[in-house]
Amino acid sequence: MSQYRMDEELVQSIAALPAVDRTDVAEARRIVSSRYAGTGSVEGVSVHECSCTAADGHVIALRVYRPSRRTSSGAIYHVHGGGFILGDPDMSHLRNAELARETGAVVVAVAYRLAPEWPFPTPLDDVYSGLLWLREHTGELGIDPSQIVLHGVSAGGALAAAAALLARDRNGPPVRFQFLKSPALDDRLRTASSRRFTDTPALTRRDAELSWSAYLGRAAGAVSPYAAPARATDLTNLPPAYVSVAEFDPLRDEGIDFARSLLAAGVPVELHLFPGTYHGSGAVREAAVSRRELSEEVAVLRTVLERPGQPAAPRDDEGNRAHV
């Protein structure tokens, strides 16, 4: 790794990263799940397990985070990462609770089915079904249906961006904003960063190849832009976006390219490259660059979730207006 000029505060964390062989999916899942912080309670946030039903009858688990002090009438719909084959809402549980508390908005996380057992389009269908459920339950959750933010990390970024495309093309739920964090968007892996950063920490080029192969399965013919949003030729009329990328990440340039394509299509975009970072290095919370990354995430989401013209009245965790 000496050829990469990593942030000095991140260097030590690299040695502690577990070796995850994605060709052994069961073992990879065991290793990744063993690193979760768990699903314990978080001060100032109540957590509720819910579910919705996919078109094929599968029950999709959803986790709803309600801050005890509601200062926003919006909602953040979170789609976890894991290369399409790993992870579940547990992996981002504590961060989702923090986002709920720090933005004052409801957060909903979706447990979509994973590849290779469930390749495209099933994971995306699950994510979209969860978005439909959120739209249908805005009343009881005290959410303004025009203030729903899609929030995706890594492979979850691909699913969030694809859900935005589906919502536009199916005249589905209105999406206020899409927050794409180190998104995996292009199965072709032809960018300079994907060719150069073949052995970077946490995510190598080989990892990306295995992830896309599992997600796309044995489907013949052209890859759908709903599977790999970088392939979309029409990005007009999509919600505004924030895209963040890590400097030393095979996915870096596809995130940058997607942001540029959105801009060319007339979609407002904010793009941020965090220097000296690797894929998922924000988990090293004590590093100054990670603190900047996490605080900017909250700042961006707070700004987006403010109601136009006036701040939202604080609400309690049952969605009622709170007295202040």
Reply yes or no on whether the pLDDT at 309 is more than 60: no
pLDDT at 318: 41
Reply yes or no on whether the pLDDT at 93 is more than 60: yes
What's the mean pLDDT when you consider all of the chain?
92
The mean pLDDT value for 72-94 works out to 96
Question: Is 190 exposed, middle or buried (CB count within 10 Å of its CB: 0-12, 13-18, 19+)?
Answer: exposed
Reply yes or no on whether the pLDDT at 81 is more than 60: yes
Reply yes or no on whether the pLDDT at 41 is more than 80: no
pLDDT at 100: 97
How many whole angstroms separate alpha carbon 163 and alpha carbon 233? 16
- Which DSSP state fits 282? G
Verify whether residue 207 is a known catalytic residue.
no
The mean pLDDT value for 200-220 works out to 92
8 is written with which tokens? 């000095």
In DSSP terms, 70 is beta-bridged to 315
Using a pLDDT cut of 70, give the percent of the chain over it.
92
19-26: Cβ within 8 A, 24+ apart: 20/86, 20/207, 22/83, 22/85, 22/86, 22/207, 22/210, 22/211, 22/214, 23/210, 25/85, 25/116, 25/214
Please spell the DSSP secondary structure of 187-237, one letter per residue.
TT--SHHHHH-SS-SS--HHHHHHHHHHHHTT--SSPPTTTSGGG-S--TT
The mean pLDDT value for 25-42 works out to 83
pLDDT in tens, 105-135: 999 999 999 999 999 999 999 999 999 999 9
**What Cα–Cα distance (Å) separates residue 32 from each residue in 17, 25, 81, 257?**
10, 10, 11, 29
Q: What is the pTM of this model?
A: 0.93
Reply yes or no on whether the pLDDT at 1 is more than 80: no
pLDDT in tens, 141-198: 999 999 999 999 999 999 999 999 999 999 999 999 999 999 999 999 999 999 999 9
pLDDT at 316: 43
Of residues 314 and 8, more confidence is placed in 8
Q: Hey, what amino acid is at 123? A: P
Verify whether residue 90 is a known catalytic residue.
no
pLDDT in tens, 2-20: 589 999 999 999 988 988 9
Catalytic residue of the set 249, 253, 290, 317: 249
Catalytic residue of the set 279, 281, 290, 317: 279
Of residues 283 and 40, more confidence is placed in 283
Catalytic residue of the set 154, 182, 244, 281: 154
pLDDT at 3: 80
pLDDT at 324: 22
Verify whether residue 261 is a known catalytic residue.
no
pLDDT at 306: 84
